[in-house]
Amino acid sequence: MESELACPIAPVVDLVFSRWTTPILWTLNEHGRLRFVELERRIGTITPKVLTQRLRQMERDGLVTRTYHPEVPPRVEYEISELGRSLAPVFHGLAEWSKRNLAKVDEARSRYDGTN
């Protein structure tokens, strides 16, 4: 998808920051093991189809684990894996940067738009 030619982190960006993966990972990291609907509700605006798609991909990539309980009604639980958890420092770094610099982005936008 992205050009790796000039950017060594392109693969990991594709992996971790493609759409919905961050909220999913963050939620699972905060609340531990969750059922499908719980995850769906906590994220709020995602549709079940898309949530399923992303979870499958993340399961394949080893970022989350899926546990199926053959009951009636069926119960499926998702959990962040060790590999997924190892991204925590990166996320923390982003949160820090956010706290410190996101306001500057807003300022820059106002300046650019001339709506000082």
> Residue 36's binding partner, choosing from a copy of itself, DNA, none, with beta-carbon cut-off 5 to 8 A by kind?
DNA
> What is the DSSP code string of 27-61?
HHHHH-SEEHHHHHHHH-S--HHHHHHHHHHHHHT
Alpha-carbon distances, residue 88 vs 10, 15, 28, 41, 63 (angstroms): 19, 15, 11, 23, 12
Decide if residue 79 touches a copy of itself (CB under 8 A). no
Task: Extract the tokens encoding 73.
Answer: 């009604």
Give ∠ CA 74-78-80 in degrees, rounded to 5.
Answer: 170
Decide if residue 97 touches a copy of itself (CB under 8 A). yes
* Binding pattern for the stretch 61-100 against DNA, x by CB under 7 A and - elsewhere: -----x------xxxxx-----------------------
Residue given tokens 């759409």 in the structure block: 19
Residues engaged in binding a copy of itself (CB under 8 A): 2-3, 5-13, 15-17, 19-20, 22-23, 26-27, 30, 42-46, 59-62, 83, 86-87, 89-91, 93-95, 97-98, 100-102, 104-105, 107-109, 111-113
Residues engaged in binding DNA (CB under 7 A): 18-20, 35-38, 45-50, 52-56, 66, 73-77
